Amino acid sequence: MKKQNIIALDSNVFRNRQFIDYLIFHKDRLNIGLPIIVQVEVAYFYKIKGFSWEIFKKEMKKFDAVFMDWKIANVDEIITRIFNNKQNLSFKHHFRDYLIGLQSEKANRNLITYNTSHFNWLNKVEVKTPEDFVKDLEKIIKNAKTN
């Protein structure tokens, strides 16, 4: 089966275990990327709970997560985009969101997050909540079954 949805996850979606289980169940339909900031944030949470980096990677393997890297974005472009959007989203309070958004956009991965308003400045990818993403994927699955 061809993976239809190329997405990136924000770290806040990991608090929704039901959503993570949904991703695991549908991993054959999905290509899930983890921006580097998300990798650090979630792996740090695992570390606080007493789990190793290896355990973290094993957990991410359950839904075939791709560990995204920085090769796709350059610093000049990042700074320019942040500067151009400073009126809409404070760099001081949301620099991680800028980095997550830019990395997702450069990789052409729609972003799944609970902080959709933090990513209104993205214009090349869709930004959805986990619940909206699930609704849309369920429509695709239903249409595939009827065709």
Range ranked top by mean pLDDT from 56-60, 84-88, 89-93: 56-60
Rounded Cα gap, residues 21 and 51, in angstroms:
19
Percent of the chain with pLDDT over 90: 65
Q: What fold characterizes domain 5-140?
A: Rossmann fold (3.40.50)
Task: State whether residue 8 is helix, strand or coil.
Answer: strand
User: Is the whole model's pTM more than 0.85, yes or no?
Assistant: yes
The confidence score (pLDDT) of residue 143 equals 87
Rounded Cα gap, residues 84 and 147, in angstroms:
45
Task: Dig out the tokens for 144 from the structure.
Answer: 């595939």
pLDDT tens digits, one per residue of 104-137: 999 999 999 999 999 988 989 999 999 999 999 9
Q: What's the mean pLDDT in 39-43?
A: 93
